[in-house]
Every structure is written in structure tokens, then in C-alpha cells.
Structure 1
Amino acid sequence: MFDTMTMTKVVGGLCGTFLVFLLGGWAGDIIYAGGGGHGDHAQAYVIEVASADDAGEVVEEVDFSEIMATASAADGEGLWRNCRSCHSLEPGVNSTGPSLYGIVGRTVGSEDGFNYSGALVAVADVWDADHLNGFLENPKGYAPGTAMGYNGMRKIEDRANLIAYLDSLDD
């Protein structure tokens, strides 16, 4: 089946293919690496790119207490749908997360019958509006090691409205 002539054809075909690839690589280097006689010509045009220092847009820091003063509990009730899959509003009824009834002003990690992850205790002593704002913005960033798998609320107005709604539920 494999005689000398067949083996010679196969080896010749492989060598020819390898030679084509080598010549193609050599031609590509000449064309694209500047070996084709382009020399030291100046670039035809330059695109100006703004640096990080020239961002142009200045983000104004807003005090959360000012936003909290204008927060709407009615709007926060609509935002509750993000939380209800893991939390409840009934006192003492825990689910995947602890009950959020009376959360504003409650001691951190104090809901009876819920096993907290321990990362929250290092964050604050009491859940006030500022601590809830920071936690709701980015739970994993605010309390590293927390078991809460929520990515957070990006809009500060939404966080204020939700906190106002949760604050309106208890006495």
C-alpha cells in the first residue's frame, strides 16, 4: 500500500505546504511590519483622545440626608418587589433573609431566629438610613463576606424611597 513513490509524494506535499506557510509569513512581515519601503513617514492623521483628567463631567456629591428628606414611601413600596423574594415584612417571619419589619433603627444582626453571616456586625451597630443606603447600594462592597447575593440599587433616589417605605411600616 505504501511504496516508495507514495511516501515521496506525501513528504513532498508536506514540505511544499510548509514552504507556502513560510513564504506567506515572510510576505506578511514585509507588508505589515514596515519592511515594504514605507520608511519614516509621518502619520496621516491623529485622533485626539481625552485623558482621564479631562473627563469634563463633574459629578456633584449629594448629601443622602437631603435626598432622604424628599423620599416617597409610596414609591418605595413599588421598589419592595426586588426584596420580597428573600425578605418578609411580617415581624419575626424570616425567609432566605431576615424580616425587614422595623429594620430602620434596629440593631444590626438582631433579628431573632435568623443566622447572620457575621460580616454585618463589623459594619455598623444600628441600621440607620445612612448605613442602609450604603448597604443597599452595594451589599458585597459595603460588608465584604455577607451572604446577601443582591447586586444593589444604583439610583440613590430609589434607595431613599425604599428606606422611607421600610421606615413607615413599623411604629
Structure 2
Amino acid sequence: MFDTMTLTKAATGFLGAWLIFLLGAWVSDSLYDIGHHGKGEQAYSIAVESDAPAEPVEELTMEEKFAQADAGRGERVWSKCRACHQLEVGANATGPYLHGVVGREIGAVDGFNYSGALSEQADVWSPENLYAFLEDPQDWAPGTSMSYAGLDAWEDRVNLIAYLETFN
């Protein structure tokens, strides 16, 4: 069943395939190799930025940020909040309703069980407090029951606050 002729055929097939592989590698190297191997001059150099420090970016004040707010864009950001909050008065969901939230006392919604962490941070949901809370709720009020990670872009935060102000 298994004789030397079978073994010879298998070994010849394997060695022939290996030889074809080596020849293919040699041909591809000769086609794509420039031949300098780091000894010649580079044909094209890419300019690299200098190590000089970049000019500092001026941070906008809160007033300048809120002056650029767009309630229409804030309505699109609201879609992220809609899963847990409602805008109708008294319609609490996972989170309290947000109708009239700008300027409202923190923890003032009847029928909603707030975590104590919010009332320890501030008394009123001023635009500045909302801005800081929306940036990172867990950082602004450690221990809050709001599990949302926050809004990274300051434009999204001010636009959302502008949208929520339309419901005051």
C-alpha cells in the first residue's frame, strides 16, 4: 500500500512546490527592489514639522460659547437624551423630565428619586452647571445615578442647552 515510489512522488511534489515558491520570491524581489538597500539618496523627502511648540489655542469664554449656540442643532443632540428623558411636564422616565430644566432647582421634580450627589454640587441648573454636568456627569457629580458618558464637543453641549431653554 505504501511503497518507495509513493514516498518519492510526495517528496518530489513538495520539493518542486518549494522550488517554485523560491523562484517566485526571487523574481518578485528583482522586480520591486530598487537595489540601493539604503546606500543611495532618497528620491523624495517629506517635510517634517519642526519641534517648536504650536501656538496655544485661545479658549473661548462661556459667554462666547453660548453666543454661538444653535437651538436647531441642539434638537439633533437631544436625540441622545430622549432614551431616558422627556420634555413633557411631569413625564418622568428613567431620568426626570427636562421641560424648564434651565434655571430650575436641582432635585425639584416631584415624583423622581434623585441621587444625593447632584444636590451636593449646586443648587440650580444654571447653563454653566448644565454645561459642566453634560461634559462628564460622573466627574461633575461623583455618585450620580446618571450613567451617560457625557458630550465631548462643547458645541453639542451649548446647542443642547439652547434647545432646552426653548422649553422654559
Separation of aligned partners in 2, 1:64 and 1:92:
31
Q: Which runs of 4+ in 1 moved over 2 A?
A: 54-61
Percent identity, please.
53
* Structural mapping, 1:24-39, within 5 Å: none
Query: What SS does structure 2 have at the residue aligned with 1:121?
Result: helix
Separation of aligned partners in 2, 1:166 and 1:75:
11
1:132 is aligned to 130
- Residues 97-146 of structure 1 show CA distances to partners (whole Å, capped at 9, x for unaligned) of 00000000000011110000110001111101000000000000000000
- Residues 54-85 of structure 1 show CA distances to partners (whole Å, capped at 9, x for unaligned) of 76362432212211112111110011000000
**How many residue pairs are counted as aligned between the two chains?**
119
1:5 is aligned to none
- Residues 132-169 of structure 1 show CA distances to partners (whole Å, capped at 9, x for unaligned) of 00000000000000000000001111100000000011
TM-score, with normalisation over the residues of structure 2? 0.67
Query: What SS does structure 2 have at the residue aligned with 1:131?
Result: helix
Separation of aligned partners in 1, 2:155 and 2:83:
22
Q: Which runs of 5+ in 1 are unaligned?
A: 1-50
- 89, 92, 103: which is aligned to 1:91? 89
1:123 is aligned to 121
1:161 is aligned to 159
Separation of aligned partners in 2, 1:72 and 1:167:
11
- 55, 76, 79: which is aligned to 1:78? 76
2:67 is aligned to 69
Separation of aligned partners in 2, 1:55 and 1:107:
45
Question: Is 2:144 the counterpart of 1:150?
Answer: no
Separation of aligned partners in 2, 1:152 and 1:68:
18
Q: Which runs of 5+ in 2 are unaligned?
A: 1-50
